[in-house]
């Protein structure tokens, strides 16, 4: 028997729509968000402030609208993704409002702006559900998608680029700023899935054996097949050198290696990639003071000289003290001092959660984040062709690795890179991009779970990019083990 959510295989019951389950989970998500917003309002202002009530109403309306769209267009889509994304978005709105209202003056402009980005993200998620009804068609334009992603990555190096604290990852158009790399990540995963879906057999089977003293050490890819690795490494190092954005370059190259390994199952690719990135990062460390400063803060954060200097370790050290202040159950929304720490609502949003809600609340939020990533991996396992499988897996790894980079930087496991936490941190570009990823996940899961899925996307069934993964069955009338001639 197969998993009813994963699609049909021989002898399995046909999958059934799970929108009722989704509505039940969505109700729990909205109640959780309501409890958080109302509790925050009472703790910080002593009354029911109208702003949190507005946030709650708009978020619930957007989530229910997406639920209706799913009922009409994708009834077999994964029932867990939308509720988890909704509750994470609601908790992020709550924390941003609390942090702003706890500051002198008590304005909540950032929370209002986050609500606007939430609506925009949900609208784009709905547009994805309505327009990308046949996600395999995305594999027909790999190089166009790659060119668009590269253009987005290079925009911060143009005259529109805007530098903050040594990193040049934003562009400014009038009063508004945007981080193009967030949208480039969405496109790059689609390109990688399309390219590697077509080339995976050649890249996994055609290799050269590396021998030392006549002993086989491991297999390495041919030089001609190293082109994708060279391009991925070049883009990551270009980002690191041109924009001085260590976090984005690490995230993109790590995702590239994950998708490459999933497509080829060759550990040698991962080893070559890690060595190449380490060499490039070390050269960047030798050449650029910004990278050296980040590494010094990581190694000597509690040194008084490093702590007190401009651009030193004040942010990360105060963040760790705030985490300690939270303890097991937290200080509550009205207590603590994390609002005084720079970027408490963006780079250090998980630290803010840890202080206000304690270790218990932080672990709950992390479980929600990794539950969302787990659903992405589950969707990848259920997908019946390689392009969709690699696309879903790439987004799942992207989300999980992003959380590791953020939390690792906040706890000095790795250098702090200034990345945003999915759905929680203040910032429109990341929030909108994550809602688009949710839309793609839902469309792919609908394709995977829909009974008797056909190649209605206009692609040939023998196209390597859309190769269906079928179970191996023994020929009728023959004895022996399955697959044995």
Report pLDDT digits (tens) over 188-207: 899 889 888 887 776 666 55
Structure confidence at residue 5 (pLDDT)? 44
Structure confidence at residue 66 (pLDDT)? 97
Instruction: Read off the pTM.
Output: 0.86
Structure confidence at residue 466 (pLDDT)? 44
Residue 160 lies in a domain: yes
Residue 476 lies in a domain: no
Q: Which CB contacts under 8 angstroms, 24+ apart, belong to 138-145?
A: 138/190, 138/194, 138/387, 138/391, 139/190, 139/193, 139/194, 139/197, 139/387, 139/459, 139/465, 139/466, 140/459, 142/190, 142/191, 142/194, 142/195, 143/191, 145/187, 145/190, 145/191, 145/194
Number of domains in the chain: 1
Question: In sequence order, what are the beta bridge partners of 170?
Answer: 162
Residue 469 lies in a domain: no
H/E stretch holding 178 reads strand 176-178
Residue 185 lies in a domain: yes
Structure confidence at residue 222 (pLDDT)? 60
All residue ranges of the chain with pLDDT < 50 are: 1-13, 453-485
Instruction: Establish how many alpha carbons lie within 13 A of residue 201's alpha carbon, considering only the half-sphere containing its beta carbon.
Output: 6
Maximum Cα–Cα distance for the chain, whole Å? 81
Residue 66 — φ and ψ, nearest 5°?
A: -65, -40
Residue 478 lies in a domain: no
Structure confidence at residue 380 (pLDDT)? 95
Which residues span the domain enclosing 187?
A: 19-453
Taking the C-alpha atoms of residue 349 and residue 52, their distance in angstroms, rounded to an integer, is: 18
Alpha helices in 74-179 (DSSP H): 81-101, 109-131, 142-154
Residue 97 lies in a domain: yes
Residue 259 lies in a domain: yes
Structure confidence at residue 232 (pLDDT)? 65
- Residue 358 to residues 316, 318, 363: CA-CA distances in angstroms? 18, 16, 9
Structure confidence at residue 401 (pLDDT)? 93
Residue 468 lies in a domain: no
CA 180 to chain centroid? 15
Structure confidence at residue 57 (pLDDT)? 96
Structure confidence at residue 215 (pLDDT)? 53
Q: Compute how many other C-beta atoms are within 10 angstroms of the C-beta atom of residue 231.
A: 14
Structure confidence at residue 320 (pLDDT)? 93
DSSP 468: B
């Amino acid at each position: 028997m197969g998993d009813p959510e994963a699609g049909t295989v021989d002898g399995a019951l046909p999958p059934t729509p799970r929108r009722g389950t989704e509505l039940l989970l969505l109700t729990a998500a909205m109640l959780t968000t309501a409890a958080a917003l109302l509790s925050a309002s009472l703790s910080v202002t002593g009354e029911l402030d109208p702003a949190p009530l507005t946030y709650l109403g708009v978020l619930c309306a957007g989530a229910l609208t997406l639920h209706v769209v799913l009922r009409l267009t994708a009834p077999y889509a994964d029932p867990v993704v939308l509720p988890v994304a909704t509750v994470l978005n609601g908790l992020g709105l709550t924390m941003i409002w609390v942090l702003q209202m706890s500051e002198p003056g008590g304005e909540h402009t950032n929370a209002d702006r986050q609500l606007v980005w939430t609506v925009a993200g949900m609208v784009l998620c709905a547009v994805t559900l309505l327009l990308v009804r046949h996600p395999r068609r995305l594999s027909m334009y790999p190089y166009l998608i790659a060119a668009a992603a590269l253009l987005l990555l290079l925009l911060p190096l143009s005259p529109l680029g805007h530098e903050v604290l040594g990193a040049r990852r934003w562009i400014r158009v009038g009063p508004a700023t945007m981080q193009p790399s967030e949208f480039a990540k969405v496109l790059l995963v689609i390109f990688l899935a399309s390219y590697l879906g077509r080339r995976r057999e050649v890249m996994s089977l055609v290799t050269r054996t590396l021998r030392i003293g006549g002993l086989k050490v491991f297999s390495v890819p041919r030089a001609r097949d190293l082109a994708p690795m060279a391009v991925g490494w070049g883009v990551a190092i270009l980002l690191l050198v041109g924009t001085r954005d260590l976090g984005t370059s690490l995230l993109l190259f790590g995702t590239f290696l994950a998708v490459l390994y999933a497509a080829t199952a060759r550990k040698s690719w991962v080893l070559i990639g890690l060595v190449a990135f380490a060499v490039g990062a070390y050269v960047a460390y030798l050449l650029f003071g910004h990278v050296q400063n980040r590494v010094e803060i990581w190694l000597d954060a509690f040194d008084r000289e490093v702590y007190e200097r401009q651009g030193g370790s004040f942010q990360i050290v105060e963040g760790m003290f705030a985490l300690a202040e939270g303890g097991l159950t937290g200080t509550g929304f009205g207590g603590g001092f994390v609002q005084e720490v720079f970027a408490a609502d963006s780079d250090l949003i998980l630290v803010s959660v840890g202080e206000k809600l304690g270790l218990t609340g932080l672990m709950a939020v992390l479980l929600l984040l990794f539950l969302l990533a787990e659903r992405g991996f589950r969707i990848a396992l259920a997908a019946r062709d390689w392009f969709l499988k690699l696309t879903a897996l790439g987004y799942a790894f992207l989300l999980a690795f992003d959380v590791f980079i953020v939390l690792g930087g906040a706890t000095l496991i790795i250098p702090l890179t200034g990345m945003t936490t999915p759905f929680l941190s203040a910032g429109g570009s990341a929030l909108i991009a994550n809602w688009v990823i949710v839309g793609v996940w839902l469309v792919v899961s609908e394709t995977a779970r829909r009974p008797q899925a056909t190649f209605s996307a206009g692609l040939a069934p023998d196209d390597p990019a859309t190769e269906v993964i079928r179970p191996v069955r023994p020929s009728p009338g023959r004895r022996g083990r399955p697959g044995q001639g």
